Amino acid sequence: MLDQIRRMHVDEIIHKRLSEGVCNATVNRLLQKLRAVLNKAKKEWEVKCDPPFIKLLKEPKKRVRWLTQAEANRLMLALPPHLADMMAFSLETGLRESNVTLLRWDQVNLSQRIIYIEGDDILKTEKAFVVPLSDRAVEIINNCGCNNPTRVFTYKGEPIRRANGKAFRNACQKVGIEDFRWHDLRHTWATWHVQRGTPLEVLQELGGWSDYKMVKRYAHFSHDHLRK
């Protein structure tokens, strides 16, 4: 029950997740959700509970890892077709992994060439935003057909739960790309935008970032490009 949750239970979750090999940042995303639910229960739902203090784990300084166009092309060729389509779509839209894997047909409006990304009712920092679709992104969606009545990206008609899996890691290893995760496709998308001269305030809206500091991480990638 909500009123029975204590700090010891939170500590058990933390230790269990860390023992499974996940990083501090992954644990923190879970803790943020848990903290938000407990606070919402007490303040908005009027549940008689006393939420424990939940302190987030220390995270290393944010890394920015990105691919060149040539590296991205090599990686897509090494991926299974369904993952290659998802990777290409990510590079066209800058969407996070979950926004791609969980993308539903009712979020897509091809007549207006947009996708509507929903906000998070619990984590208020995650706001809804609209993503414009390029010609390539529209082509990818059209090629998906109607293999599933709900989800856009599927494998053998079934929804894909995760993109950053074994097949993706094996493909990276095959083409010699090290220290690269699926989320780094979002970094790649943002970096390419900056290199092409997209203003940071525009990039912030395209990426759905609420904090301008998140966008400024990519600014230094433009200097060498502009100098050339």
pLDDT of residue 222: 67
Which pTM was predicted?
0.76
CA angle 83, 85, 89 (to 5 degrees): 115
Series of mean pLDDT values for 10-residue runs along the chain (228 residues): 91 92 86 92 90 89 86 97 97 95 95 89 67 97 89 93 92 95 94 92 90 81 70
Residues 76 and 26 in one domain: no
| Catalytic residue (one of 96, 187, 189, 193) | 96
- DSSP per position, 166-182: HHHHHHHHHTT--S--T
Residues 83 and 162 in one domain: yes
| Catalytic residue (one of 65, 104, 151, 183) | 183
Q: For residue 78, what are the contacts with CB-CB under 8 A and spacing of at least 6?
A: 171, 174, 175
Residues 80 and 19 in one domain: no
Residue 177's CB: how many other CB atoms inside 10 A?
18
For this structure, is 182 an active site residue?
no
Question: Does residue 103 contact residue 151 with C-beta atoms inside 8 Å?
Answer: yes
Closest CA to 206 of 134, 154, 142: 134
| Catalytic residue (one of 6, 124, 161, 223) | 124
Assess if residue 33 is contained within a domain: yes
Q: Which amino acid is at 202?
A: V
**216 vs 203: CA distance, rounded Å:** 10
Assess if residue 50 is contained within a domain: no
**219 vs 87: CA distance, rounded Å:** 23
Assess if residue 123 is contained within a domain: no
For this structure, is 209 an active site residue?
yes
Residues 77 and 25 in one domain: no
| Catalytic residue (one of 35, 186, 187, 193) | 186
Residues 84 and 29 in one domain: no
What CATH number does residue 215 fall under?
Answer: 1.10.443.10
Q: Which domain holds residue 174?
A: 69-102+134-227
Residues 23 and 98 in one domain: no
Tokens of 139: 């082509």
For this structure, is 96 an active site residue?
yes
Q: Coil, strand, or helix at residue 78?
A: helix
For this structure, is 218 an active site residue?
yes
Residues 87 and 33 in one domain: no
Closest CA to 183 of 102, 104, 65: 65
Q: Rg of the Cα trace of the chain?
A: 20
Count of structural domains, the chain: 2
For this structure, is 65 an active site residue?
no
**117 vs 114: CA distance, rounded Å:** 10
State the alpha helices, DSSP H only, in 59-145. Answer: 69-78, 81-93, 97-101, 135-144
**187 vs 91: CA distance, rounded Å:** 9
Q: Coil, strand, or helix at residue 16?
A: helix
Question: Does residue 154 contact residue 160 with C-beta atoms inside 8 Å?
Answer: yes
Assess if residue 139 is contained within a domain: yes
pLDDT of residue 72: 98
Residues 141 and 38 in one domain: no
Residues 34 and 73 in one domain: no
Assess if residue 217 is contained within a domain: yes
Residue 48: half-sphere exposure toward Cβ, Cα within 13 Å:
0
Residues 95 and 164 in one domain: yes
Residues 30 and 78 in one domain: no
Residues 149 and 219 in one domain: yes
For this structure, is 15 an active site residue?
no
Assess if residue 164 is contained within a domain: yes
Assess if residue 55 is contained within a domain: no
